[in-house]
Amino acid sequence: MNPTVNFTPGPSQLYFTVEDHVRTAFREGVPSLSHRTKKFESYYQSTVEGLRALLNIPAGYHLYFTGSATEIWERVVENLVEEKSFHLVNGSFSKRFFEVSQQLQRKADKLEVANGQGFDASFRATEGTELIALTHNETSTGVMLPLEFFKTVRANHPDALLAVDAVSSLPFPDFDFNLLDSVFFSVQKGFGLPAGLGVWLVNDKCVAKAEQLLAKGKSIGSYHTIPSLHTHALKNQTPETPNVLAIYLLSKVVEDMNRKGIQAIRKETEYKAALLYNTLNQHSVLNPFVKDKAFQSKTVVVADTGEHTERITKLLLEKGMQPGDGYGPSKKTQLRFANFPTHAKEHFEALVDTLEAYKP
């Protein structure tokens, strides 16, 4: 194991139990297990049941596996948008979701604000919008939508499907899934697993919409259409040979998280975020990039580090801590700190101690 504590927001530091689970997986033959076996189906089922318990997912929601969350952007548009999608854009990842819809030749509209900004929840999507694409946590800028945000959007758009990219926030947010139609994430962020698996939740309304498009003679893809994923999921199966090892590891990490308890995970996440924001607020030369407290991400904290970026990075590395670079054009003026379940309170205490001790 690398001794460094890794604060990059993805791929994240591994959840601390992963290496043990990999060892067990090899002992049990998981890496070469056929997915057409009862044993695989039991792993699939245990992942689904574990996630239902962890995230309090109600009945009528179905869970599918893909290669990545990037793939899910594409599948959401292919399966759930005949003509019009509407996107809230405030950074690189929400923008990419918007562009995917354009590339798939839908009429994609957007409400765009500057990086680091949140949105006024009372926005109205373009007339005829079938799906509103929301990025719960914009990994590039550290803006997180507050949970009440979804209530307003739902109330103002009773007929649109709401699809939420929760890539770098889950398992932290206590979503009211009844407000949302589709939620997705990848495993290399909050769940602390090796990259290579996307997890896609859809409700019955999404299943019906995809079937409707298919019945209308639209092409919605081939193996990873919702109807194909759904038929297989009902049997705890996948259309293709999936990343069996990743599904197994996810089931085990979710089991660990359920043992710890989601309330404890959420409380710790809030405590660690508060520590870091507090330090940034009081610091002589550092500041949180996101000013509006209502939109400050709890899981990816972005610091304006300006001309100090290089020296702070060096200082942290000396103490065995790897910060995440600022994203894209902010590479030289910001640092990002993931605050995922694998990051212990002690890691954050050491982090803020080091930042506080920094003398320009």
Applying CB under 8 A, which residues contact a second copy? 1-2, 4, 6, 8, 10-14, 18-19, 22, 26-29, 31-35, 66-71, 73-74, 77, 99-100, 103-105, 186, 188, 192-197, 219, 221-225, 239-246
Nearer residue to a second copy within complex by CB, 153 or 250: 250
Task: Name the minimum Å distance from CB 340 to a second copy.
Answer: 11
Chain centroid offset of residue 108 CA:
22
d(CA 235, CA 71) in angstroms, rounded, equals 22
* Residue given tokens 């991400």 in the structure block: 297
Non-local (6+) Cβ contacts of 195 within 8 A are 10, 11, 68, 186, 187, 188
Task: Name the minimum Å distance from CB 262 to a second copy.
Answer: 23
Cβ–Cβ < 8 Å for 301, 355:
no
Instruction: Tell me which H or E stretch contains 240.
Output: none
Closest CA to 326 of 286, 358, 293, 270: 286
Task: Name the minimum Å distance from CB 246 to a second copy.
Answer: 6
Query: Which tokens in the block code for residue 298?
Result: 């709890």
Cβ–Cβ < 8 Å for 198, 65:
yes
Nearer residue to a second copy within complex by CB, 102 or 152: 102
Nearer residue to a second copy within complex by CB, 53 or 195: 195
Task: Name the minimum Å distance from CB 80 to a second copy.
Answer: 14
Nearer residue to a second copy within complex by CB, 180 or 244: 244
Task: Name the minimum Å distance from CB 14 to a second copy.
Answer: 5
d(CA 328, CA 211) in angstroms, rounded, equals 39
Nearer residue to a second copy within complex by CB, 57 or 338: 338
Task: Name the minimum Å distance from CB 320 to a second copy.
Answer: 13
Nearer residue to a second copy within complex by CB, 68 or 333: 68
d(CA 352, CA 90) in angstroms, rounded, equals 27
